[in-house]
Amino acid sequence: VGGMNLTAAVTGSIGSVPNPIAVPADVTQVMFNFTAGNTAGTGQIQINGTTTADVSVIDQPADLDIGGYTLVQTTSAKTYDIPSGTMVPAGGYVIISRTATKAEFETYFGLTLGANVIYLNAGDAGITINGDETYALQNASSTVIDGPSIAQPATAGRNYSRVQPVGPANMASSWTDQADSIAVCSPGSGQTIPGTLSGIYISEISDVSGSGNFKYEYVELFYDGG
């Protein structure tokens, strides 16, 4: 199997190792051991027929359906209902912008959003950062699953990026607080999948200062697979 991409079939609820494994030419055997019902397992890679190395394999969580979830803004009160069928992969982001199209957003921030990023234009329905706003995320049953966040100051103009491990959204220590600018904004990046999972949460809130730039204001969600 040297030099090939290997996908190993396993038993139980895992189904298959989530990503193909690149096998170097000197690897002579790959073995995985799983217990039915588990979501992780152990394995060994044998090199040159003698040396073995232990590896851990973690099951890839299923995509999360957030259709019907709601982003709730206070001061002034606004809500944005996430469209039906919106599926977020583990390690994926959702960017909810004020009114910018995806193309406009990418051009303004000078980036190309990754395949793991879902972009939603709220059409001015859910985000208006003018000062004192907080944000909360509710699931389809109207249960708050994250937030309310800390508030923008009265003059707004701040970028809040969530600190990991994720703490309570209403605590200042849960956020990195910086004056908003393109240099500090990180739409579609900046979070990792930690050892202790939190599920989906608000990962970034950014005002966008400057004349006519309000359309690029955004709230970002991140799903770590929990």
Neighbouring-strand partners of residue 204: 161, 220
pLDDT at residue number 36: 44
Distances in Å between the Cα of 59 and the Cα atoms of 35, 53, 139, 141, 221 are 12, 20, 25, 28, 22
- With cut-offs at 50, 70 and 90, classify the pLDDT of residue 76: confident
Percent with pLDDT over 70 in the chain = 73
Return the pLDDT at 200: 98
Position 196 scores a pLDDT of 86
Apex 145 CA angle, 221 and 76, nearest 5? 70
Give CA–CA dist 108/113, Å, rounded. 12
Residue 61's pLDDT is what?
A: 82
User: Does 204 have pLDDT greater than 70?
Assistant: yes
Closest alpha carbon to 91 in 185, 19, 169: 19
Structure tokens at 171: 């605590």
pLDDT digits (tens, 9 = 90+) for 77-110: 999 999 999 999 999 999 999 999 999 999 999 9
Mean pLDDT of 18-43: 50
Q: How far apart are CA 226 and CA 224, in angstroms?
A: 6
pLDDT of 164 strictly over 50: yes
Where does residue 60 rank: exposed (0-12), middle (13-18), buried (19+ CB within 10 A)? middle
Under a CB-based contact definition with an 8 Å cutoff, are residues 62 and 44 in contact? no
Side-chain half-sphere exposure of 135, counting CA atoms within 13 A: 24
pLDDT tens profile 132-163: 999 999 999 999 999 999 999 999 999 999 99
- Higher pLDDT among residues 225 and 29, named by residue: 225
Predicted pLDDT at 149:
98
Residues 30/10, Cβ–Cβ less than 8 Å = no
Model confidence pLDDT, tens digit, residues 168-190:
999 999 999 999 999 999 999 99
As given in the structure block, the two tokens for residue 132 are: 């004192």
pLDDT at 42: 58
Please give the single-letter amino acid code of residue 188. G
Average pLDDT over residues 35-64: 61
pLDDT above 50 for 1: no
Task: Look at residue 21 in the predicted model and tell me its pLDDT.
Answer: 46
User: And the tokens for 91?
Assistant: 């390690």
